[in-house]
Amino acid sequence: MSGSAPIENLLYHLAISTYAKAVDIAAYKNPKARFLAKGQREVWEKLEAIGANDRVVWFHAASLGEFEQARPLIERLRLSNPEFKVLLTFFSPSGYEIRKNYSEADWVCYLPFDTPQNARRFVKTAHPEFAIFIKYEIWRNYLLELRDADIPAYLVSAAFRPGQAFFRPYGVKYREWLRLFSAIYVQDENSRLLLDSIGITGSVVAGDTRFDRVTDIMKQRKDLPEIQKFINPLRQNGKIVMVVGSSWQPDEEVYIPWLSRHSEVAAIIAPHEFDSERLRKLLDRFDGEAVLHSELLRNPDAGEGKHILIIDCFGLLSSIYRFADLAYVGGGFGVGIHNINEAAVYGIPVGFGPNYHRFIEAEELIAHEGAFSISGKEDFDTKASALLEAAPREKMGRNAGEYIHSKLGASDAIARALFPKHS
């Protein structure tokens, strides 16, 4: 191990440096890469605002989903320890660009790429009293620098699977990264057992803070009178309402044909991305039966006679699920499903595509008979059609709501351990 360490260090450094250069090249054509490259250039100026006497807690989230796991902890820290200031970093533009003005953080920026020089400069400039990394964010050089500066680092809402590098025969060096954390708070018992199997003992099963977050969101949901007005006559005519969240084109190939055959179902569709061309194609598929949310805002009567509403803005989906009798969450025909807890918290059945096995909540919701996965058009037709009957739909919805309720409390448990004044 000791002989191979310098080579491994060099390879890791080369990989990070190559990725950084690739981002700069891609920025000429790719908007997300352009945001990332620009954000990386702005980091150090933002960090200069941190004063020498500021007491800083650093939270790092890869993207928006991980931010939702960090948020309950940030807000509890604010309540229990107001003397601390919060530094929030992101790796992904989809997280930073949406939450760069988050009011509970004093500074929000991108995380500089994980080179030894960046890590050293970042830790020295930010001088956090402790650092909290979310779920899968395990950056070698930052963890080494925090250790050398005697700054505790914690991994929270972590989830581990047997196929990850840590548990492979070649994963010895990656296991050492995990030992750099002062404590690891995992989502489930299986994750704890996996860590134990490689000699990482003492991890704590605390659960997933995202359950607390979706419950908070439900309680603070936005008033959406324009959508309520659209839904009311459809309900009066006996229609069942399906909300589709974070929809991608492969998802649409599954549920749109079903919608076209079931006039008793109305739908609210929130595409994951909605440039003008994508919206035009989506509207065309419904042949005059759909209206954009932006049209409703301009003209509250624009939805008359239509039963499909397409959401063409960010920030409403978590509040929209309250209008649903059942939900379908997209992404499961791609790299993985989006946030299903946002829907399940309302006590409704939740469907999603086949790529869900990296998500503990999806497997557990299926086991609790509060959700269903589909493999394609025919499978969706069978399972969604069965939920047009009130009894099975309501039973599955109750199961979903009870599952979410049973998972509450992770944020308070972690806050009590990490923030001493928290009660």
User: What is the CATH classification number for the domain harbouring 252?
Assistant: 3.40.50.2000
Q: Do residues 255 and 118 both lie within one domain? A: no
**pLDDT mean across residues, the chain:** 94
Residue found by looking up tokens 């400069």 in the block = 121
Is the same domain home to 363 and 234?
yes
SS3 12: helix
CA distance 316 to 319: 6
Q: What is the pLDDT averaged over residues 131-160?
A: 96
384 and 304 within one domain: yes
Structure tokens at 115: 């080179």
335, two tokens: 């790299």
The CATH number that applies at residue 107 is: 3.40.50.11720
Confirm if 110 and 39 have CB atoms less than 8 A apart: yes
The whole-model pTM stands at 0.83
The domain tally of the chain equals: 2
> Does 337 map to a domain?
yes
Q: Is residue 95 a contact partner of residue 62, using CB atoms and an 8 Å limit? A: yes
Residue 277 burial (C-beta neighbours within 10 Å; 0-12, 13-18, 19+): exposed
Range of the domain at 115: 5-208+408-418
SS3 category, 216 = helix
Burial class of residue 208 in the structure, from the number of CB atoms within 10 Å of its CB (0-12 exposed, 13-18 middle, 19+ buried): buried
pLDDT band of 422, cuts 50, 70, 90:
very low
Count of other CB atoms within 10 angstroms of residue 65: 17
Q: What would the pLDDT profile of 239-282 be if each residue is shown by its tens digit?
A: 999 999 999 999 999 999 999 999 999 999 999 988 899 999 99
d(CA 48, CA 126): 8
Tokens of 32: 């997300």
Q: Does residue 364 form part of some domain?
A: yes
Q: What DSSP string runs through 189-226?
A: HHHHHHHHHTT----EE---HHHHHHHHHHHTPPP-HH
CA atoms of 205 and 167, how far apart (whole Å): 19
What are 368-415's pLDDT values in tens digits?
Answer: 999 999 999 999 999 999 999 999 999 999 999 999 999 999 999 999
In whole angstroms, give the CA distance from residue 130 to residue 370: 38
